[in-house]
Structure 1
Amino acid sequence: MTEENNQLTLAKLRLRAGLTQRQLADRLGITIKTISAWERGVVEPRLTFTETERLMEVLQCSLEELVEATNVE
């Protein structure tokens, strides 16, 4: 397994939470297109603190996991 496969991603967090892109988008009140762009690394999530808390709640993840998942190189 390569290091890239071990990288935590938003898609992995979403799948771990048992959610589709549509379900995540609906719970956050955003579009599937936005979720897809985040997961592909096309757009970096720009969230308020409250939105970040909500994303962590929906994905059932810690802030550290969320930061790692959005740290795309």
Structure 2
Amino acid sequence: MDVLKIGSQGENVKKLQEQLAKFNYYTGVVDGDFGEATKQAVIKLQQDYKLEVNGLCDLETMKKIDFIKSLQN
């Protein structure tokens, strides 16, 4: 998996935004464009789950998102 960050675009970013919105971290437009609002949502999730706070959707952050998603199913 590629690290998603400011400037990243595409389907993976859209899926990330959808998950962040589902967890009430993201309130912006789900458009597949990793901008400042997406970065801030990632930072908030990282802070809440005691991950490295860097605003990047890296492997550890994706694992945590997958874990949260599994709890909701």
> Scaled by the length of structure 2, what TM-score is found?
0.31
User: Considering only CA atoms, is the larger Rg found in Structure 1 or Structure 2?
Assistant: 1
